[in-house]
Amino acid sequence: MTIIHNLGFPRIGARRELKFALESYWKGESSQEQLLAVGAQLRSTHWQQQSALDWVPVGDFSFYDQVLDMSFTLGNLPERVQDFHGASLDNYFRVARGRSAPSEAGHACCAGVAAGEMTKWFDTNYHYIVPEFSASTTFELDASRLLEQLNEARAQGVRAKPVIIGPVTYLALGKAKDDSNRLELLERLLPVYAQLLNALAAEGVQWVQVDEPILVTDLEASWQQALRQSYQYLQRCPLRILLASYFGALLDNKALAAQLPVAGLHVDACSNRDDAQQLIDLLPADKVLSLGVISGRNVWKSDLHATLDWLEPLAQRLGERLWLAPSCSLLHVPVDLDSEHQLDAEVKSWLAFARQKLHELQILGQALNHGRASVQAELTANAAALAARRNSPRVHRPEVQAAVAAITPAMGQRNRPYAQRAPLQAAHLQLPAYPTTTIGSFPQTADIRRTRSDFKAGRIDSSTYESAMRAEIARCVREQEALGLDVLVHGEAERNDMVEYFGEQLQGYAFSQSGWVQSYGSRCVKPPILFGDIARPQAMTVQWICHAQSLTSKPMKGMLTGPVTLLNWSFVRDDQPRSTTCKQLALAIREEVLDLEKAGIRIIQIDEAALREGLPLRKSLWQEYLSWAIDSFRICANGVQDRTQIHTHMCYSEFNDIIAAIAQMDADVITIETSRSDMELLDAFEHFEYPNEIGPGVYDIHSPNIPTQEHMVHLMQQAARRIPAQRLWVNPDCGLKTRQWSEVIPALQAMVSAAASLRQSMD
Ligand code: GLN
Ligand code: ZN
């Protein structure tokens, strides 16, 4: 009998119940009991929805983040919150976000604290709270959360398999604040893990899922050794460990993983089936092998027939030892396709969200255990949906495929190198030294949001909408003129989101109503679904930008989202390589770039905010990704005349390892986030001589604080030590849409004055 199970279920709720409950608690509008009740209700619903499984995950529910949960389970709390006397959930929120509910602020000990650092969970768009370590870190078990949820599950008849993060991944994801070697903490950590496993065993737990996704990354010998040491130590615990790896293939860690003394191993069999196949031969004959055969990362129906063709001989061979699951936790997909009532019906028939994916798993289990005939109707329906998708003219547009095939290297190449373009652009643009600009968006007021949603819902007609947007653009231009900025923007009032705005106007994209995926804490994103060949039926931004340009004689930037960012922030098709999809997006954006240029726009900014996050987990795969990603950017940007200036923007600060690739994009100007790091990140530019112009952000737009002129001058002076002043721009870190006008005006005033004083000090 093949066993079916799940690694984790989305906790936010099909209607984002957890988000609303959390935010209401944090505002002081509801009690902790109410919040706890919503949590219990969600867990119970989710367990019911997984009741067809042989093993159901418990402990995957979290009020904020599963890594932070683990820190609390292990008693690893940052020192700054250790004197807290209130409810532990409040302390948990203090670490998560700097503060909890307002009632909690009344405690003398409980004013706001620095929130824990947040970073991306492997190569997903989920963000976890980074565990903090130092040489003196100690651990102390607090199993209460897990045991309570376990009892709750038992009471509801759930076949519970508790889920925890493994010790090596836990250490690897954290940061030592004092430069100590966090691996040295392993000896202190393992006894606490053993206590935890013993406590679970004492409750009668048979299987525990221990997540070690670190196994799909490049591991130094010391980390490999830590894995061996950990599982040798933990094998004494009287329960069975299912060691789970996900988000990629094991590759060179395969033999290591196969030999760890655990009862079972879960691997991602979606990303690299050959790798999983090879593992089978390495695995000792007493171990369970759990194959992640349903992708936990995309929204497409699986090919059940093809999966069964692969699995049937394996099931014969492995018998009871074969388990099936999604490739990773379903945290990374929306909850329920059945709640979509407005999604394009044809596209909808090709999709599967979390609940539908579990249903697929159930069909596979049935087919293996009782023969394909026992689920004939389901298999036939699945095959029909896949065939419809394969043959749909909405997916395949021969003219788009022909255009991609016809891409030539010349299309990604400017006519002259930067050094020869720069004087042409200078003559065309007439800018002062240290030119000032912003990254694109201006504050999105409640008025703007309302106008957009009224228009979407049909409450106002298009001419009312357009005049409201034009008025907003005019306001934005007026403010920028008054501030004395050198290169203006139209302010992006018409955009709700930098990906969705373009997706809505491109053919090949569909949108869900409630396809939310947790990004961090209570925050969710709703990635658009890229299902087909991409075409641009008409210009997407030209009328807005031209209107803005007509209101000023200063250069107005045309503002676009780049192909790599459109790709990385969408659910993309799985029936062709990502690189092909990216090239299609590049061609569509290229048309827009050329239309803007034709309309007289002199500067075009193409944002690639998400370029870095598409980097594969394995370094050996970086070059391939960077090569097609950079090519795509070049194709979209570099068809312009030499006097047209191309800008790009990236909002993160780790550049060291990809700086050469970024230089190859050959954008005339790159604006980046730097203000928080005191220009430290410009170190990358010291070792690598970046050839073009740079605008290192001097205004931290993530903070309500207004930077002073002196501070910004100081930051620019730091920058001028590494980059010649003639190639520097002065701008904020990122777009201003989340700020208030009352913050933005004084901050930009100070920024413009800072530029003026820098110019003076040049002569
Ligand atoms: N142009 C966009 C804006 O200003 C860029 C946003 C981003 O980089 N995330 O809002
Ligand atoms: Zn940005």
Tokens representing 59?
């402990």
* Single-letter code of the amino acid located at 354: A
Classify residue 683 by its DSSP letter: H
Residue nearest to atom 4 of ligand 1 (CA): 735
Best CA proximity match to 288, nearest among 59, 3, 60, 55: 3
Q: Is the CB of 100 under 6 A from ligand 1?
A: no
What is the Å distance from ligand 2's center to 625 Cα? 21
Outline where DSSP puts E strands in 130-276: 132-133, 160-165, 175-176, 207-211, 240-244, 264-268
Proximal ligand: closest to the CA of 697: 2
Query: HSE on the CB side for 113, CA within 13 Å?
Result: 24
d(CA 705, CA 650): 22
Classify residue 179 by its DSSP letter: S
d(CA 658, CA 685): 11
Mean pLDDT on 298-308: 98
pLDDT at 109 over 60: no
d(CA 66, CA 60): 7
Per-residue model confidence as pLDDT tens digits over 59-105: 999 999 999 999 999 999 998 888 888 889 999 999 999 888 886 65
Q: Is the CB of 607 under 6 A from ligand 1?
A: yes
pLDDT at 388 over 80: yes
Q: What is the mean pLDDT of the chain?
A: 95
Q: For position 340, what pLDDT does the model report? A: 97
Secondary structure (3-state) at 645: strand
d(CA 38, CA 45): 10
| Substitution site in 499, 500, 649 for ligand 1 pocket (most atoms within 8 Å of beta carbon) | 649
Mean pLDDT on 603-629: 96
Tokens representing 459?
């409450």
Active site residue 305: no
Calculate helix-pair angle for 578-598, 542-550, nearest 10 degrees.
30
Residue nearest to atom 5 of ligand 1 (CA): 735
d(CA 519, CA 526): 10
Contact yes or no for 650/608 (Cβ under 8 A): yes
Q: For position 105, what pLDDT does the model report? A: 55
d(CA 288, CA 284): 9
d(CA 182, CA 191): 16
Q: Which atom of ligand 1 is nearest to the CA of 737?
A: 10
Per-residue model confidence as pLDDT tens digits over 317-326: 999 999 999 9
Q: For position 85, what pLDDT does the model report? A: 83
What is the Å distance from ligand 2's center to 733 Cα? 7
Tokens representing 228?
């061996």
Give the phi and the psi of residue 58 in degrees, each rounded to 5.
Answer: -130, 135
The percentage of the chain sitting over the pLDDT mark of 70, rounded to a whole number, equals: 98
Contact yes or no for 176/134 (Cβ under 8 A): yes
d(CA 50, CA 257): 28
Spatial CB neighbours of 577, under 8 Å, sequence gap ≥ 6? none
pLDDT at 685 over 80: no
| Substitution site in 441, 525, 739 for ligand 1 pocket (most atoms within 8 Å of beta carbon) | 441
Mean pLDDT on 621-626: 97
Looking at per-residue confidence, does 678 or 533 come out higher?
Answer: 533
- Which of 305, 370, 702, 711 is flagged as catalytic? 702
pLDDT at 573 over 90: yes
With cut-offs at 50, 70 and 90, classify the pLDDT of residue 484: very high
Task: Collect residues with CB below 5 Å from ion ligand 2.
Answer: 609, 651, 734
Q: Please name the residue that has the structure tokens 């395969």.
A: 254
What is the Å distance from ligand 1's center to 440 Cα? 6
* Pairing label, strands 507-510, 693-696: unpaired
Q: Please name the residue that has the structure tokens 């095939």.
A: 405
Spatial CB neighbours of 717, under 8 Å, sequence gap ≥ 6? 758
pLDDT at 449 over 60: yes
pTM: 0.95
* Pairing label, strands 529-535, 507-510: antiparallel
Mean pLDDT on 650-667: 88
Q: Which atom of ligand 1 is nearest to the CA of 650?
A: 8
Classify residue 23 by its DSSP letter: H
d(CA 118, CA 208): 27
Q: Which atom of ligand 1 is nearest to the CA of 605?
A: 1
Tokens representing 437?
């600009």
Per-residue model confidence as pLDDT tens digits over 151-185: 999 999 999 999 999 999 999 999 998 989 999 99
Give the phi and the psi of residue 464 in degrees, each rounded to 5.
Answer: -65, -45
Cα Rg for the chain, rounded, in angstroms?
A: 27
Range with lowest mean pLDDT among 106-110, 371-375, 377-381, 758-762: 106-110
Contact yes or no for 246/213 (Cβ under 8 A): yes
Q: Is the CB of 439 under 6 A from ligand 1?
A: yes
Calculate helix-pair angle for 446-456, 462-483, nearest 10 degrees.
160
Tokens representing 96?
């998560």
Q: Please name the residue that has the structure tokens 């394969």.
A: 390
Give the phi and the psi of residue 170 in degrees, each rounded to 5.
Answer: -60, -45
Q: For position 703, what pLDDT does the model report? A: 85
- The DSSP bridge partners found for residue 725 are none
Q: For position 102, what pLDDT does the model report? A: 83
* Single-letter code of the amino acid located at 655: F
Q: Is the CB of 701 under 6 A from ligand 1?
A: no
Residue nearest to atom 8 of ligand 1 (CA): 609
Q: Is the CB of 733 under 6 A from ligand 1?
A: no
SS3 of 267-298: EECCCCHHHHHHHHHHCCCCCEEEEEEECCCC
Q: For position 736, what pLDDT does the model report? A: 97
Proximal ligand: closest to the CA of 562: 1
Spatial CB neighbours of 343, under 8 Å, sequence gap ≥ 6? 337, 351, 510, 511, 512, 513
Q: Which atom of ligand 1 is nearest to the CA of 609?
A: 8
* Single-letter code of the amino acid located at 640: V
Residue nearest to atom 3 of ligand 1 (CA): 735
Spatial CB neighbours of 31, under 8 Å, sequence gap ≥ 6? 25
Q: Please name the residue that has the structure tokens 């005019």.
A: 474
Other beta carbons less than 10 A from residue 531's beta carbon: 25
What is the Å distance from ligand 1's center to 340 Cα? 29
Q: Is the CB of 437 under 6 A from ligand 1?
A: no
Q: Is the CB of 609 under 6 A from ligand 1?
A: yes
Contact yes or no for 407/733 (Cβ under 8 A): no
With cut-offs at 50, 70 and 90, classify the pLDDT of residue 115: confident
Mean pLDDT on 369-376: 98
Q: For position 111, what pLDDT does the model report? A: 60
What is the Å distance from ligand 1's center to 676 Cα? 17
**CA 53 remoteness from chain centre:** 29
Best CA proximity match to 241, nearest among 282, 266, 210: 210
With cut-offs at 50, 70 and 90, classify the pLDDT of residue 677: confident
Contact yes or no for 575/500 (Cβ under 8 A): no
Tokens representing 677?
């790091």
Mean pLDDT on 28-34: 97
- What H or E segment, with its residue span, contains residue 519? strand 517-520
Q: Which atom of ligand 1 is nearest to the CA of 439?
A: 4
Q: Is the CB of 559 under 6 A from ligand 1?
A: yes
d(CA 507, CA 514): 21
Best CA proximity match to 604, nearest among 655, 570, 553, 561: 561
Residue 732 to residues 263, 308, 673, Cα–Cα distance (Å): 53, 53, 8
Q: Is the CB of 727 under 6 A from ligand 1?
A: no
Mean pLDDT on 695-704: 91
Best CA proximity match to 563, nearest among 635, 640, 664: 635
Angle at 545 between CA 544 and CA 549, to 5 degrees: 120
Q: Is the CB of 737 under 6 A from ligand 1?
A: yes
